[in-house]
Structure 1
Amino acid sequence: MLGGRIVAADEEAYVRGVRAVIEDRARRGGTGRATPVTVAGGGDRPVAEGAAQLVLAPVFGRVNGTGALRGAV
């Protein structure tokens, strides 16, 4: 989850961009369905759900359908 002034300034543009990248990676990776991305309300620090996997998967790996990590470094 990411947030901050940049995201809050144009939430929908941020969500569209994150969603497009996640959907593209899901298609290329053969996983089919992408992780849903939405803006979560909650005070003065809104976040976009799903962005954590987009940003952190290359560092920590991604959990596949069996619960095992793949691609971890």
Structure 2
Amino acid sequence: MTDQQYMPDPEKVKQTIAKSRRRRLEMEISGIELEEVIAKLEHHNRQQRLNRIKQTLSRLDAESNISPQETVEVLR
């Protein structure tokens, strides 16, 4: 056996570090972009839910002949 340690080429180490930093930044960008997509989907889902609730209230009001103002007053 040999006790001699292997020393990597300093230039190769620099290149590897530079590539690693770049990949980390690329991953960070991807993470932020993914967060944006998720936020847009969550907003879209909230809007759909809000619209469904409003439609249901309108339908209930029409069926019971209660005005929207009366519905708001009842909810208070």
Task: Work out whether the TM-score is over 0.5.
Answer: no
TM-score where L is the length of structure 1: 0.33
| Structure that is richer in strand per residue | 1
| Structure that is richer in helix per residue | 2
Greater Rg by CA:
2
